[in-house]
Amino acid sequence: MRYILISFTLLLLLSCNKSTSQSEQFNHLAGQSSPYLLQHAKNPVDWYPWGDEALAKAKAENKLLIISVGYAACHWCHVMEHESFEDSTVANLMNEHFVAVKVDREERPDVDDVYMTACHLASGKGCGWPLNAFALPDGRPVWAGTYFPKKNWIEILTYFSKLHQEEPEKLQEYASQIMDGINGNEQVLFNENDPSFTDANLVGITNNFLSNIDFKKGGRDGSPKFPMPNNYQFLLSQYFHTKDEKTLEAVTTTLDNMANGGIYDHLGGGFARYSTDADWKVPHFEKMLYDNGQLVSLYSEAFMVTKNPLYQQVVEETLQYIKREMTDESGGFYSSLDADSEGVEGKFYVWTKEELAAVLQDEMSLKLFADYYQVSNKGNWEHTNVLHRKKPIADLAKRWNQSEEQIIASITASKEKLLTAREKRIRPGLDDKILTSWNALMLKGYVDAYRAFGKQEYLQAALDNAHFINNNMLQGDDRLNRNYKDGKSVINAFLDDYALTAEAFIALYQVTFDEKWLKKAEGLSNYSILHFFDTKSGMFNYTSDVDPPLIARKKEISDNVIPASNSTTAKNLYTLGLYFYNQDMLKISKQMIHNIAGQIEQSPQPNFYSNWCSLYSLLVHPPYEVAVVGTDYKDHHQNLYSQYLPNALLLGGATEGSLELLQEKLQEGETFIYVCQNKVCKLPVQDVVKAVALME
C-alpha cells in the first residue's frame, strides 16, 4: 500500500512538473520584437510570425492558414486570447488542423490591410480587431471575421476544418471571389483630363464637410466619435481663406468638447483612441501615439488662429504625458498604452468618490473637484467616475462664492495630488516598440507646438527624434526601416513611413532653416518614386518593390485616422517640387490629385479625402514662397512661423544656401523678406506685418 502511495505521489509530481514545463514552453513567436506577438509566445497555440516558414508549412501539410491580427493595446484581442488562445482544447484543434499565424497590425499594416479588406468583403459590414482570417495555404483568404467567444470560435474552426477535408473546391471558389474584390478595392484610374480646381468647387467640398458635423457636440454626427485631426486641419485652412465663421465653429466646437470630455486625460494629459458615445464622455481607454501626435498639431494650429488658452493647456499637458510616459531615452517615441489594467478596461483612469476623498482629504477641495469633473457618489459610468467637464470655471466661482483664481488654484492642486496617487496604481501595458511613421507624426506635433508656443524644449524634442530616425531607421541609400525595439530594426518600411517622415522633415526645415532636413525629405521622396510608384495608375503602392510580394499589392488612397500615404506623398511632392524647382515631382503630384479630384468633388462625405482636400486647396490658393535672408533673419523668421499661414512655404537663413529660390536675395548688411509666388517675387520688405499683408 505504501509503495502504491509513493508511486502515485511520484506520478503526480511528474505530472505537475510536466505541466509546468509545458506551460513554460514557447511557440514560434519567441524572439519577436513586437510586444503584441510576445504576449502570445506562451500560448498553447503553435503560433508562427508572418513569413515564409508558416506559408511553407501550410503548403507542405496542406493545411488552412489562420491569420490572426491585432495589436498590443487592443482590448478584445486580450479577451479572445484569454478565452480561446490560452485554452488547451482550442489550441489542440487549431494546431491539428491549421497553421496559425499571429500578426501585429502596427508592424505589418500591409498584411492587415489585405485581410481586413477580405473581412469587409466576406461579412459585408464593419470589421475591427482582433481580425481572424482563414486562408488557403498560398495565403488567399476564404473568410474573415473579428472577435468570437470561445464556443463560436470552436464552431468556426470545426466548420472550416470539415469544409477543407470534404469540399475543398468550395474554398477555392470563396478565395477566387474574395480575391476579385481585393484586387478591385480602391482602384484608381489614370485621369488624362485636366480637372478644374476652382474656389467654387472647394467651397462645395467644404459645405459637404460641414453637413456631416455635429455642431452641438463636435465631430461627426452620432457615435462612436473619433478625433480625425486631419478633417479639422483642412477646415481650419478653409477658414483662413474664406473667413466663414461656420467653418471655424466646426473646428472649435469639436476641439472644445474633446478637451472637456472624458476622451481627454484630465490628470495626465493626452487623448484616448475614441469616444464610445456621442458626448466624448466615455472613451475606449487605449492611448495611441499617432492620435496624440496629430492632435498636438491640430490644437497648436487652432491656438494660432483663436489664441484660446484651453488649446495651449491641452498641448502642454499632452506633451508632458509624451515626455513622461512615451519617450525612450534614445529620443524615439513608444507606440501605445493599453486600455486595460488588472484585466479591466479603464481601471487606471477612473475614480470612485471614496478614492478621491482619500487622496484629497480637504472637504472643500473635494467638493470643487467633484463639481468641476462631474463626479457623483454613484458614479457616472459603471459605478465609477470618468472625469469630464461641463461647467466653466466662472460658474463654479459663482456657486462656491470664490474667485476664479481660487478655483483654478484648488483644481490644479487636486490634479497634482491625484496624478501622484494614480502613478501608484498598476499601470496599463506599454507597447514600447518604436514605429517610424508614428514617430514622424509626433515629431511634427512637436514642431507645430514649437511654432505656436516658442518653447525651446519642444524644438529640442523634435530634433532628438529626427536624429533618432536618421541614425536608426534611415539607411545609406535613403531606404527606411519601419520598427525599432531593443536596438533592433528588422522590417522594411512602407509608404506611410516615407511619406510622414518626409512631411515631418519638411516641417522641421521650416522652423530651423537647416537644409539637411529638406534634402533628407527629398531623398525619401525620390526613393518612394523609385520603389513604390506605379506608372500605370500614377499612384503609389503601399509596399516597395524590394519586399516579398503578398497575394495583392495595394494602394492606400482614403484618408482615415491617419492620412493616406498617397495623399501625404502627393502633398510632399508638390511642396518639394516648389522648393527644388523639380518639375517631375510637381507633375507626379498634380497627376495624383487629378486622379482623385472627381471622387473628392462628388463625395457627400469628403472627410475620407481630407488630406487630399488640403492639396486641392493649395492648387486653388497657390503657396507663397516666403524667403527670409540676412544676418538678422531669426527674429523675422520666428514671427513668421508663429503665425498660421497654411499656404506659405518658409525658407532662408543667414546666407543664400543652396536652394535656387534663395539665389541673389542676400543683400550685405541687410535682412529682407521676399514674398514670391510661382517664382515671381514682390518687392522685398523688412517688416513681418508688411510681408503678411503681401499674402492677403
Q: Residue 338: what are its φ and ψ, rounded to 5°?
A: -65, 155
The three cell numbers of residue 455 are 518653447
Owning domain of residue 658: 624-694
Q: Which of 600, 620, 640 is the last residue of a domain?
A: 620
Q: At what angle do helices 309-325 and 436-453 cross, to 10 degrees?
A: 140
CA distances from 155 to 148, 170, 436, 670 (A): 10, 18, 40, 79
pLDDT at position 4 over 80: no
What is the DSSP pairing of strand 483-484 with strand 434-435?
Answer: antiparallel
Cα-based angle 74, 78, 82 (whole degrees, multiple of 5): 170
What's the mean pLDDT in 147-160?
A: 96
**Res 407: pLDDT:** 96
| Each residue's pLDDT tens digit, 207-222 | 999 999 999 999 999 9
Write the burial class of residue 145 (CB in 10 Å: 0-12 exposed, 13-18 middle, 19+ buried): middle
Q: Grid coordinates in use for 273?
A: 483612441
Per-residue pLDDT tens digits for 568-609: 999 999 999 999 999 999 999 999 999 999 999 999 989 999
Query: Final residue of a domain: which of 599, 620, 641?
Result: 620
Does residue 459 sit in the same domain as residue 529? yes
- The rounded percent of the chain whose pLDDT value lies above 90 is 90
Residues 407 and 462 in one domain: no
- Residue 419 maps to a domain: yes
Q: Are residues 667 and 545 in the same domain?
A: no
Q: Are residues 608 and 553 in the same domain?
A: yes
pLDDT at 27 > cutoff 60: yes
Q: Is 2 among the domain residues? A: no
Burial 394-417 (b: 16+ CB within 10 A, else e): eebbeeeebeeeebeebbeebbeb
Maximum separation of any 2 CA atoms in the chain, in Å = 109
Residue 6 falls inside a structural domain: no
Could you tell me if 371 and 462 lie in one domain? no
Q: Are residues 599 and 636 in the same domain?
A: no
Q: What is the mean pLDDT of the chain?
A: 93
The answer to whether the beta carbons of residues 65 and 134 sit under 8 Å apart is: yes
Give 472-489 pLDDT, tens digit per residue.
999 989 999 999 998 888
What pLDDT band is residue 11 in, cutting at 50, 70 and 90? very low
Domain count, the chain: 4
> 538 and 490 in contact (C-beta within 8 Å)?
no
Cα→Cα distances 672→588, 636, 675, 677, 678, Å: 33, 9, 10, 16, 19
Mark whether 486 and 577 lie in a shared domain: yes
Give the integer Cα–Cα distance in Å for 468 and 455. Answer: 21
Question: In the predicted model, is pLDDT for residue 91 greater than 60?
Answer: yes
How far, CA to CA in Å, does 480 sit from each of 155, 514, 549? 43, 21, 18
Instruction: State the alpha helices, DSSP H only, in 71-217.
Output: 75-80, 88-97, 109-123, 150-166, 168-184, 199-211
Helix (H, G, I), strand (E, B) or coil at 592: helix
Residues 207 and 119 in one domain: no
pTM of the predicted structure, to 2 decimals: 0.94
Alpha helices in 326-389 (DSSP H): 353-360, 363-372
Q: Which amino acid is at 308?
A: N
First to last CA, the chain: 101
